[in-house]
Amino acid sequence: MKIAMIGTGYVGLVSGVCFSDFGHDVVCVDKDAAKIDKLNRGEVPIYEPGLDTLMARNVDAGRLTFTQDLAKAVSGADAVFIAVGTPTRRGDGHADLRFVMAAAEEIAQVADHYIVVVTKSTVPVGTNRQVKEAVARANPQLDFDVASNPEFLREGAAIDDFMKPDRVVVGVEGDRAAQVMADIYRPLYLRDFPIITTDLESAEMIKYAANAFLATKITFINEIAALCERTGADVKQVSKGMGLDGRIGNKFLHAGPGYGGSCFPKDTRALARIGQEHAVPMQITETVITVNDEVKRRMVDKVRDLCDGSFNGKTIAVLGVTFKPNTDDMRDAPSLTLVPAMVGGGARVRVTDPQGRREGDALLPGVEWIEDAYEAAEGADVLVLLTEWNEFRALNLKRMAEAAPGLRMADLRNIYSAEDARDAGFDAYVAVGRAGFGPGSPDGV
């Protein structure tokens, strides 16, 4: 199969590279000349483990190319995937579809043979119908179908998610488009991965419903964590007891500083807006959005309490600022709430993150970037563990405590325990939904 992939952002680049590894001929298109030049030099503009190696292999094999020339990419293509951004629209929370619709019209203007126009971007229910109308208006003579093929890629594990998916969702209207999509995903079908073929609207809804449900699980356990702090329960034990129930499962039941990233914040807001437009309020989702914002603000209060009620004059070391490990993505990350509050409150903030500086330089003004966690902690008053990178999971806490007499820890990912911190010589320790000790802990002792 020959595939054109419009957009070389996270979804488009990962999908294009993985499709080429299936054996298809893939041309990735982007209007950003600098990005295309970088890709043609073999440089990956995003951080995703293993993507650089996979991309190089398929470029060398001649199956993967990059261009700004849309007409060249669409020529002879069996399917053209739209994988452009759908950011939250300012003012109403809806997904901004300008880039999707522009891509659809541009495809129609250069296509001269039967193609399947596939929406890979996350779009509100009904968008693929709009894409179909836009293509037909732009080129009434074009023979084409549309398909909805939402992505379910976790940043940091995207290649495995693409190659070994829980499921592939394809929304189509007819057998011809269904066959093209089946041929594209044939390598997965042959290995018995589930491929769900459904209508356009159901495919679109599956994406939003899945992400909203996962966001709800995260937010639920964060609320339970707050209650655990007041009652003396341990949220890690509560999560374990809940997760062993097969009806619930243990994934996304880890208490922390709130969800962030490129999907959950944007998709929950969009789903809430879709509900409002159809007079079916998504009350649970709307509450999840509100509570998640409150969780992030509660983390600010938690760290401030650890600072004896004021950030002013304190030196704070922050370990991790990306929204999750194994990515450089900082969209809606908890750090964007917590760190500015500390800087604004008069703290000297040192930050270390394996990949966060690429975006963090612009997003976190006023911080000092440090390469090493131990160097960041030297002489600090408070250590805040905010993103659970592997290098932060096995720290020598005693070494840190010795380098910073009186050091206190806010473990916002529940990696360590009060016993670990006490034995290492920390003066105080707070976590999320678990027992601590010293100033700022639930019991204050």
252 marked as binding residue:
yes
Query: Could you tell me the residue range of the domain that residue 193 belongs to?
Result: 2-198
Asked whether residue 167 falls in the same domain as residue 216, the answer is: no
Is 438's pLDDT higher than 50? yes
Chosen domain end from 198, 223, 242: 198
Question: Which residue, 168, 198, 228, sits at the end of a domain?
Answer: 198
On average, the pLDDT of the chain sits at 95
Residue 77 has pLDDT above 50, yes or no: yes
Same structural domain, 335 and 419: yes
Res. 349: pLDDT tops 90: yes
Which amino acid does the sequence have at 132?
K
Q: Indicate if 51 and 169 belong to the same structural domain.
A: yes
Q: How confident is the model at residue 445 (pLDDT cuts 50, 70, 90)?
A: very low
339 and 428 share one domain: yes
pLDDT digits (tens, 9 = 90+) for 163-200: 999 999 999 999 999 999 999 999 999 999 999 999 99
Interval 396-428: pLDDT, tens? 999 999 999 999 999 999 999 999 999 999 999
Share of the chain above pLDDT 70, in %: 99
Average pLDDT over residues 360-383: 96
Is 331 assigned a ligand-binding role in the annotation?
yes
Is 226 found in the same domain as 162? no
Task: Work out the pLDDT band at 214, boundaries 50, 70, 90.
Answer: very high
Q: Is residue 86 domain-shared with residue 206, that is, in the same domain?
A: no
Q: How confident is the model at residue 96 (pLDDT cuts 50, 70, 90)?
A: confident
Is 297 part of any known ligand binding site?
A: no
The response to whether 436 counts as a known ligand-binding position is: no
The segment with the largest mean pLDDT, out of 85-94, 261-270, 309-318, is: 309-318
Whether 213 shows a pLDDT value over 90: the answer reads: yes
Give the residue numbers annotated as catalytic, written as ranges: 263
Q: Could you say which of 198, 214, 244 is where a domain stops?
A: 198
The arithmetic mean of pLDDT across residues 136-153, rounded, is 96
For 29-72, the pLDDT digits (tens) are 999 999 999 999 999 999 999 999 999 999 999 999 999 999 99
> Is pLDDT at 93 greater than 80 in this prediction?
no
Same domain, 46 and 194: yes
Q: Domain containing 167 — which CATH number?
A: 3.40.50.720
Total domains present in the chain = 2
Whether 309 and 400 map to the same domain: the answer is yes
**Does the annotation list 314 as a binding residue?**
no
Half-sphere exposure of 411 (CA within 13 A, CB side): 25
Name the band, by pLDDT with cuts 50, 70 and 90, for residue 23. very high
Instruction: Determine whether the annotation assigns residue 119 to a binding site.
Output: no
Q: Does one domain contain both 146 and 213?
A: no
The 10s digit of each residue's pLDDT in 219-258 is 999 999 999 999 999 999 999 999 999 999 999 999 999 9
Instruction: Check whether residue 214 and residue 137 sit in a common domain.
Output: no
On whether both 363 and 228 belong to a single domain, the answer is: yes
Is 127 in the same domain as 240? no
pLDDT value, residue 443: 57
For residue 288, the model assigns a pLDDT of 98
Instruction: Identify the pLDDT of residue 87.
Output: 84
Q: Give the pLDDT score at 178.
A: 97
Among all chains, which residue has been given the structure tokens 């193609």?
Answer: 115
pLDDT digits (tens, 9 = 90+) for 248-301: 999 999 999 999 998 899 999 999 999 999 999 999 999 999 999 999 999 999
**pLDDT over 70 (residue 444):** no
pLDDT at 164: 96
Is 30 annotated for ligand binding? yes
